[in-house]
Structure 1
Amino acid sequence: MKWEGNRESDNVEDRRGSGGGGFGGRSIGLGTIAIALVASYFLGINPLTVIEMMSGGNVTSVQQAQTPAGAPANDTETRFVRTVLADTEDTWSALFRNSDATYAPPTLVLFAGATPTACGTGQSASGPFYCPADQKLYIDLSFFQLMRERFQVNSEFAQAYVIAHEIGHHVQHLTGIDEQVRRAQGRMSQVQANNLSVRTELQADCYAGVWAHHANQARGIIEQGDVEGALRAATAIGDDALQRQSQGHVVPDSFTHGSSAQRTRWFSLGLERGRIEDCDTFKARQL
């Protein structure tokens, strides 16, 4: 992915190394975090429950950051994240202008271990996430190491896809889609609510593709092999793939993010066409 030398965003908080953010009790390795991430982010299980079980019940609490955030570091990985964020800002600002609207960019928070958010305590085991209550995107960059080591996805463009997916949730918040979904889910059965969650996540995948389409047209960011890397990431984090890996069988009614095939299809659709209106997963008869 071609990104070096492009604009970097200032909408970044770096909470790493701020005196908190670790798990109390026994130290927790990346493998444990990986399993907890699968259980939490994709299967709806509290990550602390999984971590406590795997560490012999010695995980007592999550420490929160105690000191103010500092300026973002200048290492390559941090500069990459700031550059991708800036690219999403430029792309979505232009798309909103075309619809006579104004894009309000979110803040991206870098943290390690755990951090306080308006949606509760953010945890590394939950993977990257967007909090609509404070309009911030939270990322522990160890997730990218997890992608490389556990999911065998070693691609900067795949990492950008992860960020762009969470930005897609911010777009849903700005357009009121997330609030409509929450209200509808409150009147539904769990299976129906899960289906609506899948449609929400697949739309965010499609929005990630829309970003990539326009960013590549404007700045030529995609190199050979990049798209394949992003599709491998989408495949690896499909609900069916994760359920097979964690429990040996698939339960479609419990899906909350979509199958591997669905996630790759909707990302590819956004990438190919670059049109927001083509990402209306809520009206699609077949996902």
Structure 2
Amino acid sequence: MTGCLSVAWRPVLGRVSGETFVPPRVFAADDGDATACGSVGDEGDAFYCAASLGIYFDWEMFAAVDDGDRLDTEIDLMDMVAHEYGHHMQLLSGIDERYELRYDDTTGEAQLRLTRRMELQASCFAAAFLGANRRSLGLTGDRLEHLMSTIEVGDDPESGPADHGSAESNRYWGQAAFKSGSPRSCNTWSAPVERVK
């Protein structure tokens, strides 16, 4: 999956920034394993760590599933890797640096809004990649239906901060990017506030 993502994103990065392309490293880790960005599990089931240029995920969550859930788990893993790879592209393109500068100058809801813009863009980048490669990834029928329901997952206000976007916002960005198959659909930074809730 990451090899395919690298083939897709390398020319895009060259066109938009001229920066040197470096693929991320992928770590299938155990819950509690230490990384340069915190422990696996503390940051969620998966996360991107800029300090190590790495995508970390709790492998047991994806490996220990019943055969009946295998299809759903495969699609969840595909979407997760594509989302975290989106964060890698934000880092390589300079988006992450601009985010960090703006984040440090804000507080409270303004910081959450910036974080939602960042997370929604990473999800949008994932959907654009998956949409552009839907045939080769076999995203039809039940597989496509599960992906569409995964794209629509938003923040649960009862379990933590509203930092990844509502179901409505994720649906808006994800469906548009999947349909277009282009990261041009992912400019969350100039979108009005109602699109990044």
TM bin, normalised by shorter chain, reads 0.7 to 0.9
Deviation at 1:128, TM superposition (A): 0.2
C-alpha spacing 1:98/1:233, structure 2 compared with 1 (3 Å): same
Tell which deviates more after alignment, 153-162 or 261-270.
Answer: 153-162
- Taking the aligned partners of 2:61 and 2:46, their CA distance within structure 1 comes to 8
- 1:233 partner letter: T
Structure-2 residue corresponding to 1:121: 39
Partner of residue 279 from structure 1, selected from 186, 192, 195 = 186
Structure-1 residue corresponding to 2:127: 209
What secondary structure, in the 3-state scheme, does the structure 2 residue paired with 1:202 have? Answer: helix
**Please, what is the CA RMSD of the aligned residues?**
2.8
Q: Provide the TM-score with structure 2 as the length reference.
A: 0.84
Structure-2 residue corresponding to 1:221: 138
Report % sequence identity.
25
- Taking the aligned partners of 1:117 and 1:191, their CA distance within structure 2 comes to 28
1:189 aligns with 2:107: yes
- Taking the aligned partners of 2:2 and 2:95, their CA distance within structure 1 comes to 22
What secondary structure, in the 3-state scheme, does the structure 2 residue paired with 1:103 have? Answer: coil
Larger Cα-atom Rg = 1
Alignment of 1:190-269 (within 5 A): 190-216=108-134, 219=136, 221-236=138-153, 238-239=154-155, 242-244=156-158, 246=159, 254-269=161-176
1:112 aligns with 2:30: yes
Deviation at 1:93, TM superposition (A): 2.0
Deviation at 1:220, TM superposition (A): 5.3
Query: How many residues are matched?
Result: 191
- Taking the aligned partners of 2:16 and 2:98, their CA distance within structure 1 comes to 20
Cα offsets for 1:217-269 (capped at 9, x unmatched): 6x353222223212322334x11xx235x49xxxxxx4100001211221111
Deviation at 1:154, TM superposition (A): 2.1
Q: Provide the TM-score with structure 1 as the length reference.
A: 0.59
What secondary structure, in the 3-state scheme, does the structure 2 residue paired with 1:243 have? Answer: coil
* Structure 2: runs of 5+ lacking an equivalent: none
Contact 1:155–1:226 under 8 Å retained in 2 = no
- Taking the aligned partners of 2:57 and 2:10, their CA distance within structure 1 comes to 22
Cα offsets for 1:101-144 (capped at 9, x unmatched): 45321000011122222223333672100001111000112333
Partner of residue 4 from structure 2, selected from 76, 87, 110 = 87
Contact 1:112–1:124 under 8 Å retained in 2 = no
- Taking the aligned partners of 1:223 and 1:202, their CA distance within structure 2 comes to 24
Deviation at 1:97, TM superposition (A): 4.5
What secondary structure, in the 3-state scheme, does the structure 2 residue paired with 1:95 have? Answer: helix
Contact 1:130–1:138 under 8 Å retained in 2 = yes
More helix by share: 2
- 1:226 partner letter: R
Structure-2 residue corresponding to 1:171: 89
* Structure 1: runs of 5+ lacking an equivalent: 1-83, 248-253
Partner of residue 75 from structure 2, selected from 157, 160, 175 = 157
Cα offsets for 1:30-67 (capped at 9, x unmatched): xxxxxxxxxxxxxxxxxxxxxxxxxxxxxxxxxxxxxx
Cα offsets for 1:41-98 (capped at 9, x unmatched): xxxxxxxxxxxxxxxxxxxxxxxxxxxxxxxxxxxxxxxxxxx222211211243345
What secondary structure, in the 3-state scheme, does the structure 1 residue paired with 2:157 have? Answer: helix
- 1:86 partner letter: G
What secondary structure, in the 3-state scheme, does the structure 1 residue paired with 2:133 have? Answer: helix
